[in-house]
Amino acid sequence: MPETIFSKIIRREIAADIVYEDEVCLAFNDVAPQAPVHILVIPREPFEDATQADATTLGHVMEVAARLGREKCPGGFRLVANTGADGGQSVPHLHIHVLGGRALGWPPG
């Protein structure tokens, strides 16, 4: 895996507004939010994307993302996992976007 900004956040080499962490994952507010609530949930292990992660880690990261969405956005939220360049993935480290705090349009992008 290449070194990414997320690796540096995990090691605390780059500051982030961390809202949750445990032994498997870390969640922090996005620095360029696309909605009033925009949290990124990343596994500590550097899987490139959702297709590379084991089921246990992916399930845990999704469960944490859903819990944060429920807590921060009682009116509803969206969970997004971009995969590959055509899917809009800009950092090659699995991450789940938790988006909410307003009505979200469809289709996205």
Unique residue bearing structure tokens 């899987």: 47
- Look at residue 15 and give its three-state secondary structure: coil
CATH of the domain at 66: 3.30.428.10
Q: Max alpha carbon distance in the chain (Å)?
A: 38
Range of the domain at 18: 5-100
Residue 27: predicted pLDDT: 98
Alpha-carbon gap, residue 29 to 1, rounded angstroms = 23
Amino acid in position 67: R
> Is the pTM of the predicted complex or chain greater than 0.85?
yes
Q: Is 95 annotated as catalytic?
A: yes
Residue 1: predicted pLDDT: 64
- Contact yes or no for 60/25 (Cβ under 8 A): yes
24-33, 69-78, 84-93: least confident range: 84-93
The total domain count for the chain is 1
**Mean local confidence (pLDDT), 28-42:** 97
Q: Is residue 87 scored above 70 in pLDDT? A: yes
The residue from 60, 93, 95, 97 that is catalytic is 95
> Which is nearest to 16 in space by CA: 4, 29, 3?
29
**Mean local confidence (pLDDT), 41-59:** 95
72 found inside a domain: yes
